[in-house]
Amino acid sequence: MGIVAGLDSSSESTRIVVCDADTGAVIRQGYAPHPVEKGPEADPQAWLVSLGEAAGNGLLEGVQAIGVSAQAHGLVPLDVEGNLVRPALVGNDKRAQSAAADLIDSLGGRSAWAQAVGAVPQATHPVTKMRWLARTEPAHAARIAEIMQPQDWLAWQLLGRPARRTTDRGGASATGFWSTATATYRPDLVELALGHQVRLPEVLSPSGTAGFTPEGLLISAGTGETMAAAFGLGVGEGDAVVSLGASGSVFGIHHEALADPTGTITSFADATGRHLPVVHTSNAVRVLRGAAELLGTDLEGLSELALKSSPGAYGMVLLPYLEGERTPHLPHTAGSLHGMRRESMKPEHLARAAVEGMLCGLADALDVLRGRGVAVRRVFLLGAAADLGAVQAAAPGLFGVPVVVPQPGDYAALGAARQAAWAWGVAHGTLAPAPGAEAGPGGGAPWIDPPQWPAAASQVFEPGEELPVGRAVRQQYMAVRDEAYPGAFQREA
């Protein structure tokens, strides 16, 4: 078919992979850092400069199509002429927490939002950022005539700022004013947040084309970073992804949108036409780092200590709610250590309790998805802590399924490249529906599957004989959790 490229503009850098469109083999790669952001705002022009640097030295020579992914939940506010009203608000902006509470109350509560768009407003959501702008910068807010997310703005710039503005289902589902269940915008929520209507981008199908550059280069629909990474990893129904950052996230691939009246599940759309329900935890690797600092070591040292202990940490259980918790909903609580006895008060047992406590908290999030019918037959474990021996040893038994640890890779950029190959193949007729293929979303043309690229290179850790032991450890954890916070988790499941 040819050569395609995927670029991922994260909060820190631009990464580009150039791939063979048929096989997915990476031919060459590019990288350039972004300027250090000063607070929760960024100059989108800096993203373009970084893109140009990453694509230097003829990196894109011979490329026929490009896919774009970018940091989630960013808001690029534009005036009536398409120019920036103010710097972009990036995804990790937490200034809008009170605006989120205000929006929730304005629509009638968490359940009303979950039913409307599949998500309860958080400080990160673009809809909440709009409310914050309306309250704190009314002059800027009044000038906003359209809004974009970072990946959509970048694609629009690559196309030469055409009259047509586009996004994809994944990006739209991250805004807080597009319904995953009905695949439609909620303009009333835009007006509720900002005080007036704005122009919203057209939502393309997963294999859609945003346009062609004057040189004939196809730009695909693009998508958010999480959706692109899932596509690049090759996850499908039956797979869950557990991401170990300072906080944690767990998502699965599902055939339908999930409306969760508690707001524990955020119902995103993925990059393939399916759905991507997400459950967040407030605590993941920060638990390990805190325990490591307490024990005077680092993450690798903590792992080595934990491996000297045994499953169950001699009866010690760490409830890992160091920063409050989102799952279960305990925003004002703190972490706690239970079951201390003289024989258990050793560094290795505390280290093991920290690893097991973190993983059990994430297993709680997995159970929320399972409780809503999301199949979990294996778990992809991502993040630097996924390479720790103690995590790899404990996770399969605690999660109850095989754990896949992919090799480090630019999976968001790979997902964007795979999307570009998909759009190119559909646009040029080199991909076709399989015999007997069902209609696509909304009853449209028969569904055309994306190009089949190899799965990510990875290690697989099976529960094996450790499964009964893992279940016992999990039961010990749940007994302590439910005694400390009666009924808290049942409200989530």
Is the pLDDT at 493 greater than 50? The verdict is no
- Residue of 168, 120, 374 whose CA lies nearest to 257: 374
Cα torsion angle, 35, 299, 70, 142, sign: negative
Q: Quote the number of domains for the chain.
A: 1
Is the pLDDT at 435 greater than 60? The verdict is no
Report how far apart, in Å, the C-alpha atoms of 57 and of each of 347, 377, 409 are. 52, 44, 22
Helix H, strand E, coil C: the string for 105-131 is: HHHCCHHHHHHHHCCCCCCCCHHHHHH
Q: What is the pLDDT of residue 434?
A: 53
| Tokens 């459950």 found at | 279
Cα torsion angle, 275, 153, 139, 12, sign: positive
User: Does residue 35 fall inside a structural domain?
Assistant: yes
User: Does residue 278 fall inside a structural domain?
Assistant: no
Residue that wins the pLDDT comparison between 261 and 8 = 8
In this predicted model, what pLDDT tens digit does every residue of 239-292 receive, in sequence order?
Answer: 999 999 999 999 999 999 998 888 899 999 999 999 999 999 999 999 999 999
> Taking a C-beta distance cutoff of 8 angstroms, is the pair 380, 240 a contact?
yes
User: Does residue 372 fall inside a structural domain?
Assistant: no
User: Does residue 286 fall inside a structural domain?
Assistant: no
User: Does residue 336 fall inside a structural domain?
Assistant: no
User: Does residue 318 fall inside a structural domain?
Assistant: no
Is the pLDDT at 443 greater than 50? The verdict is no
Q: What is the pLDDT of residue 417?
A: 98
User: Does residue 155 fall inside a structural domain?
Assistant: yes
- Residue of 350, 330, 351 whose CA lies nearest to 341: 350
Find the domain containing 94 and state its range. 3-227
Cα 250–Cα 254–Cα 258 angle in degrees, nearest 5: 80
In this predicted model, what pLDDT tens digit does every residue of 74-133 receive, in sequence order?
Answer: 999 999 999 999 999 998 788 998 999 999 999 999 999 999 999 999 999 999 999 999
One DSSP character per residue, 141-159 reads HHH--EEE-HHHHHHHHHT
Mean pLDDT in the chain? 93
Q: Which two tokens stand for residue 294?
A: 């307490």
Q: CATH code at 20?
A: 3.30.420.40
> Taking a C-beta distance cutoff of 8 angstroms, is the pair 400, 378 a contact?
no
User: Does residue 335 fall inside a structural domain?
Assistant: no
